[in-house]
Amino acid sequence: MIGDIRETEECQLKDPMDLFHSGQVVKICAPMVRYSKLAFRTLVRKYSCDLCYTPMIVAADFVRSAKARDSEFTTNKGDHPLIVQFAAKEAQVLCDAARIVCPFADGIDLNCGCPQRWAISEGYGACLINKPELVKDMVRHVRSQIDNPKFSVSIKIRIHEDLKRTVDLCQKAEAAGVSWITVHGRSIEERHQPVHYDAIKIIKQSMSIPVVANGDIKTLKDAENVHHLTEADGIMVARGLLANPAMFAGYEETPFQCIQDWVDIALEHGTPFTCFHHHLMYMMERITSKQEKKVFNVLSSTSAVLDYLNDHYGVW
């Protein structure tokens, strides 16, 4: 982390709220475990992504361990605006984590939406939507302890079965000074059920701060439709960007130039092979035959992948 972070000391941090005041829908790369790291953020920024999140980082580990900081958070001077997402359940721990990243990022986000069992059993993620006073306290603490007024503090949530509880949570967070709220339009229990875009619209109409819509957005057309359905100020995409990092630039499937860009960026950043390969598997899902996938998906070295791309697609 430190080597790359030093570069950012010369960079100009940005005010993410400027994006929401631009009059355009803000296009956002979601926090994705293992995937929304620096190299991938660098790629999607080339293709009209306005704002990127890091993968979720457990704040307590980040504060306690230099090793965790080095492995979990890497950035550079082109990686802005950048939001660092934390899992936290104590206000002061979140503040301490925010203070560490404040010189190098443009804001933090509190994860109140992760539905995984391990997170909920630890008191992180989606269980926080049932603790509105704690969320309010955490937002307020960060607001009061970070001197930079442009440093954003946002939250990402899921919805309750009873939407009044969600609106109450959002209004409490707004009163505490939250910058914006991202709403994944499913409850904790829902996984592949249709997203409740109508719920996101109700939340948006109840707030005077920006609201970001998240859930099942696979194409730029989907993003436009969800914007119209919800009136959201921003659109956050996860799997849609994995499958097509050029999605926000209007491409319906990953263009070969984007694959070439990923190869160049990943090699430059020293991306571990598994991550490098997995991203390519996602990107090429729609443009390769079943037979090609059988061969490509079992390649086991960077050189084998590069040879395959060169032989079959003239990439690299």
Does 278 lie in the same domain as 142? Answer: no
Does 216 lie in the same domain as 303? Answer: no
- Strands 181-184 and 211-214: what pairing? parallel
Residue ending a domain, among 224, 246, 268, is: 246
Query: Residue 190: which of 216, 221, 222 has the closest Cα?
Result: 216
Does 279 lie in the same domain as 232? Answer: no
Does 264 lie in the same domain as 218? Answer: no
Tell me if 10 is assigned to some domain.
no
Judge whether 196 is annotated as a binding position. Answer: no
**What is the value of pTM for the model shown?**
0.95
Q: How confident is the model at residue 316, as a pLDDT?
A: 72
Does 175 lie in the same domain as 84? Answer: yes
Q: Which residue has the tokens 């005077």?
A: 208
Tell me if 80 is assigned to some domain.
yes
Does 268 lie in the same domain as 227? Answer: no
Does 155 lie in the same domain as 296? Answer: no
Residue ending a domain, among 246, 276, 301, is: 246
Are the C-beta atoms of 235 and 212 separated by less than 8 Å? yes
Judge whether 281 is annotated as a binding position. Answer: no
pLDDT digits (tens), the chain, 316 positions: 433 443 444 456 889 999 999 999 999 999 999 999 999 999 999 999 999 999 999 999 999 999 999 999 999 999 999 999 999 999 999 999 999 999 999 999 999 999 999 999 999 999 999 999 999 999 999 999 999 999 999 999 999 999 999 999 999 999 999 999 999 999 999 988 999 999 999 999 999 999 999 999 999 999 999 999 999 999 999 999 999 999 999 999 999 999 999 999 999 999 999 999 999 999 999 989 999 999 999 999 999 999 999 999 888 7
Are the C-beta atoms of 232 and 26 separated by less than 8 Å? no
Does 287 lie in the same domain as 149? Answer: no
Tell me if 11 is assigned to some domain.
no
**Angle ∠(170,171,175) on CA atoms, nearest 5:** 120
Q: Give the CA distances from residue 221 to residues 27, 46, 218, in Å, rounded to whole numbers and listed in that order.
A: 13, 19, 8
**CA count, 13 A, side-chain hemisphere, 243:** 16
Residue 137's domain spans which residues? Answer: 16-246
Q: How confident is the model at residue 152, as a pLDDT?
A: 98
Q: How confident is the model at residue 191, as a pLDDT?
A: 87
Tell me if 23 is assigned to some domain.
yes
Please tell me the total count of domains within the chain.
2
Judge whether 31 is annotated as a binding position. Answer: yes
Does 192 lie in the same domain as 109? Answer: yes
Tell me if 225 is assigned to some domain.
yes
CATH of the domain at 215: 3.20.20.70
163, 165, 171, 176 alpha-carbon torsion, rounded to 10°: -140
Tell me if 132 is assigned to some domain.
yes
Q: How confident is the model at residue 75, as a pLDDT?
A: 97
Does 120 lie in the same domain as 265? Answer: no
Catalytic residues: 114
Does 143 lie in the same domain as 276? Answer: no
Tell me if 6 is assigned to some domain.
no
Residue ending a domain, among 199, 222, 246, is: 246
Tell me if 1 is assigned to some domain.
no
Q: How confident is the model at residue 4, as a pLDDT?
A: 44
**CA count, 13 A, side-chain hemisphere, 19:** 26
Q: How confident is the model at residue 11, as a pLDDT?
A: 53
Does 298 lie in the same domain as 183? Answer: no
Judge whether 238 is annotated as a binding position. Answer: yes
